[in-house]
Chain A
Amino acid sequence: MADSVIAVRGVTKSFSGVKALKGVDLEIRPGEIHCLAGENGSGKSTLIKVISGVYTPDEGTIELNGTAHSRLAPIDAIMGGVQVIYQDFSVFPNLSVMENLALNTELASKRKLVNWRRFRRIAEEAVAQIDFKVDLDARVGTLSVADRQLVAISRALMHDAKLIIMDEPTTALTKKEVDALFRIILDLKARGISILFVSHKLEEVFEISERFTILRNGEVAATCLPEELDRRKFSYFMTGREFEDGRFTLTNRSDEPVLEATGLGLQGGFEDVTFALHGGEILGITGLLGSGRTELALTLFGAFRADAGELRIKGRPVTFHGVRDAVDAGVGYVPEDRLTEGLFLERSIGDNIVIAEIDNVAVSAGVYDDTRKRAEADRWISELRIAAHDQDNAASTLSGGNQQRIVLAKWLATRPDILILNGPTVGVDIGSKHDIHQILQQLAGEGIAVIVISDDIPEVIQNCNRILLLKAGRIVQELDPATTSEAQLAALMTSDTTGGQQ
């Protein structure tokens, strides 16, 4: 049975009674590009750790190059040619490229002393394998993300690798860098090296993967070829739920606009932005990174002060001197980077939910009512179906989708008239993404004016009734999602009509 590099058979693994893997099979052939997909918590990372020898399976065997093991030590996995490239690449930012490349090899051969000439030789050999041009004396911390990844790949290849496992390899890369990465991967494949991608996004690795294994709740939901897969099926296998593409329909549009921007401008951000937003609408604002979309969102939320134009809320002109003014005027903002801007990760779920409306649960200035706070937090936990066992747990204990719901709950608790969401489903798994979309549509149905800022094309088309296309700080077009296809929008976004970015 040496026609597979690695074959995992019937592997079960549980942690303190919870089964993370339930009889999983996975087989990877030489030179195959295989994609392991699954939502957060589906057992992907556990499976990787079993393959790389970090975890010992409770049951089942791992066949490495034709030899069956019931337990595999990390060193066995490495000797068998299994290399993992983690999402953070496991590089040392403070050390030189040369040292990063050579340390593993030297440690593997149990050297105690450092010979810098040998280090350089190993490093030169490593980069030569993928024809990677880099200054060996540069500190890795000064390299771009793509180059750091190449350092990690070169390093992995030093150990006579037969299988390279890459965790979410394309998340932080630009399109061009992804293309370069794929070229290298195809070259590795030609040399008979297998690649296992780990991902929870179909788009990321669809074009290059030859076979998919999709995990759900610790079981293999499907093993299939790319021809047999489309977005619908992929979502189904990942979540076990059928999602009908619930397009947003405008039902509760207010007669008067709640928010009007006229000729709004911000130095270095955007200029001459004019639009009106009615209650009950979901307005999509889309554009590439650097198109001014985040600056616009933050200006509407009072974090930046516009230096040109006028902003009216419910017909009254407003000037925001800070976020507090915007909140008082009924604007809520769900930030792009919820981890640093939207959540107190170490604080409890309940604290996070009530923080923006802390004055409402106060008995008197500065002292809050714990019972009222708990009731309020519980209400939002059940309303938004946040999977929290206990509102006293830290927010960091929740998954990405649930964290995003907390941020949402926090702002909904302030009862906003206008809710601005910046990248509402970035880093969120499919099931939660669907739920968040439903919540947004429901909110609009209740008459809240929603702005969704996103470069996720299916997301804006499916959830908005109007889309503003932002390019180099200007609104270049207003689109009707009902008559715009995803491909059209993608082309419009990247086309160079204004001669602006890129």
Chain B
Amino acid sequence: MIKRFLARAVRSNEFYVLLVIVALGVVIQVRSGQFFTANNLVDIANAMVVPGLFAIGAFLVIVSGGIDVSFPALASLAVYATTRVLVDTGYTGGVWLPFLLAMVLGGLLGAFNGLFIARLALPTLIITLGTASVFSGVMQGVLNSVQIPNIPPSMEAFGTATLFVARNPESGLTSNMPVSFLILVAVLALAFVLLRFTMFGRGIYAIGGDESAAARAGFKVRRIKFWLYVIVGVIAAVAGLIRTSMMGQMHPTNLLGMEMMVIAAVVLGGTAITGGTGSLTGVMLGTLLITIVQNSMILIGIPTFWQGFSLGLLIIVGTGISAVQLARSGNRLRAAV
């Protein structure tokens, strides 16, 4: 039983990502003695929340055979509009309303994506590149976005709400585990159930495997795609709202540019960029790896500008591995013919 589990694990991508994470952790630990400390681990968990949520959304899209680069712009617009309205009306109520508003807006913007993607036979990359520009254009032009320095008090409170505090006994530094980490866990659980136990979720995999076969099997391909982008819009808006709450201010362009790093995390975790395969475990490991690289390299005294370099390298290695695997399975196929 354990043997079989191990045999399967060795063949999976996730296993290797985990190895890399452990190796990286050990290296940082040896060099700085700071990696396996309670406060550092909490810091990493904290930093994972927003990219992790985005990664779940990006993963759903990539599994369906698409690619979405509009989610940071979508989240920015949804959250900017929410914050603007609430600040302007002097809202002082609970945090549920900002979440609800942002999610509704995110869902609507996702529906905008979904409408085009379900109706037009265009590459999703092109469509979402377009809608990303539309979203940020609306935000910066129509809404005339500026930084909003003070956000509704309930959002601010939520952003600083803490599950527990981790303290490093040596340095005395403390790190807060944010409540929003629970949201990441909850969304992860929901995504898992959706993918594993609903026909909608299996439909996402089926479409990513072979779209015309999915249609012939009886999946309502257009409807699935449409709702998929709505869901992704909602998840992105939640991530954006958490980021704004944690920062204590609405910075309209703060999220923009995150898409590459998020997609890299998803692909590093073993999700095939061609769609159809991948696991949420892999997505979380990929996100963790990238977060560690971003957060902890400073611990071993590597200047921050090397971060971009190492991230780029990770992306090339990560996608390279899956490309090689794809080529290999292609060869096997040809041999079988």
Residues of A within 8 A of B (CB): 84, 86, 88, 90-95, 99, 103-104, 106-108, 111-114, 141-145, 172
- Nearest first, the 9 A-B pairs at minimum CB distance are A94-B276, A92-B209, A107-B218, A90-B213, A94-B209, A144-B336, A90-B216, A114-B197, A94-B277
What are the residues of chain A within 8 A of B300 when measuring CB–CB?
Answer: none
Q: Which of B22-30, B41-49, B51-59, B198-206 contacts A (4 or more CB under 8 A)?
A: B198-206
Are the C-beta atoms of B197 and A113 separated by less than 8 Å?
yes
Known contacts A86-B216, A94-B276: does B209 contact A106 (CB below 8 Å)?
no
The complex places the Cα of A141 from the Cα of B206 at a distance, in Å, of 13
The complex places the Cα of A106 from the Cα of B213 at a distance, in Å, of 15
Known contacts A142-B332, A172-B337: does B276 contact A99 (CB below 8 Å)?
no
Q: Determine whether B219 belongs to the interface, using a CB cutoff of 8 Å to chain A.
A: yes
* Chain A, residue nearest B219 (CB): A107
What are the residues of chain A within 8 A of B205 when measuring CB–CB?
Answer: 92, 94-95
Q: Which of A86, A92, A113, A145 contacts B214 (CB 8 A)?
A: A92
What are the residues of chain B within 8 A of A84 when measuring CB–CB?
Answer: 216
Are the C-beta atoms of A114 and B214 separated by less than 8 Å?
no
What are the residues of chain B within 8 A of A93 when measuring CB–CB?
Answer: 209-210, 276
A sample of 7 cross-chain residue pairs with beta-carbon separation below 8 angstroms, ordered by A number, consists of A90-B210, A92-B206, A93-B210, A108-B218, A112-B198, A114-B201, A145-B337
Known contacts A92-B276, A145-B336: does B217 contact A104 (CB below 8 Å)?
yes
Q: Determine whether B333 belongs to the interface, using a CB cutoff of 8 Å to chain A.
A: yes
In chain B between 165 and 202, which residues have their CB closer than 8 angstroms to a CB of chain A?
Answer: 196-202
Are the C-beta atoms of B199 and A112 separated by less than 8 Å?
yes
The complex places the Cα of A83 from the Cα of B272 at a distance, in Å, of 31
The complex places the Cα of A145 from the Cα of B335 at a distance, in Å, of 10
In chain B between 254 and 309, which residues have their CB closer than 8 angstroms to a CB of chain A?
Answer: 272, 275-277
The complex places the Cα of A84 from the Cα of B209 at a distance, in Å, of 19
Q: Determine whether B150 belongs to the interface, using a CB cutoff of 8 Å to chain A.
A: no
What are the residues of chain A within 8 A of B337 when measuring CB–CB?
Answer: 144-145, 172
Known contacts A107-B199, A113-B199: does B212 contact A94 (CB below 8 Å)?
no
What are the residues of chain B within 8 A of A91 when measuring CB–CB?
Answer: 210, 213
Known contacts A95-B206, A172-B337: does B329 contact A141 (CB below 8 Å)?
yes
The complex places the Cα of A111 from the Cα of B197 at a distance, in Å, of 11
The complex places the Cα of A317 from the Cα of B331 at a distance, in Å, of 36
> How near does chain B come to A368, taking the closest CB pair, in angstroms?
30
What are the residues of chain B within 8 A of A103 when measuring CB–CB?
Answer: 202, 206, 217
Interface centre among B200, B332, B336 (most CB of A within 10 A): B336
> How near does chain B come to A2, taking the closest CB pair, in angstroms?
28
Q: Determine whether B208 belongs to the interface, using a CB cutoff of 8 Å to chain A.
A: yes
> How near does chain B come to A397, taking the closest CB pair, in angstroms?
17
In chain B between 309 and 328, which residues have their CB closer than 8 angstroms to a CB of chain A?
Answer: none
> How near does chain A come to B141, taking the closest CB pair, in angstroms?
37
> How near does chain A come to B162, taking the closest CB pair, in angstroms?
37
* Chain A, residue nearest B198 (CB): A113
> How near does chain B come to A45, taking the closest CB pair, in angstroms?
14
> How near does chain A come to B209, taking the closest CB pair, in angstroms?
4
Are the C-beta atoms of A114 and B206 separated by less than 8 Å?
no
Are the C-beta atoms of A104 and B218 separated by less than 8 Å?
yes
In chain B between 5 and 56, which residues have their CB closer than 8 angstroms to a CB of chain A?
Answer: none
Known contacts A93-B276, A114-B199, A145-B336: does B213 contact A88 (CB below 8 Å)?
yes
What are the residues of chain A within 8 A of B206 when measuring CB–CB?
Answer: 92, 95, 103
What are the residues of chain B within 8 A of A172 when measuring CB–CB?
Answer: 337
What are the residues of chain B within 8 A of A113 when measuring CB–CB?
Answer: 197-199
> How near does chain A come to B44, taking the closest CB pair, in angstroms?
32
What are the residues of chain A within 8 A of B214 when measuring CB–CB?
Answer: 92
In chain B between 208 and 262, which residues have their CB closer than 8 angstroms to a CB of chain A?
Answer: 208-210, 212-214, 216-219
What are the residues of chain A within 8 A of B277 when measuring CB–CB?
Answer: 94
* Chain B, residue nearest A52 (CB): B216
Are the C-beta atoms of A92 and B333 separated by less than 8 Å?
no
> How near does chain A come to B218, taking the closest CB pair, in angstroms?
4
Are the C-beta atoms of B199 and A92 separated by less than 8 Å?
no
What are the residues of chain B within 8 A of A106 when measuring CB–CB?
Answer: 199
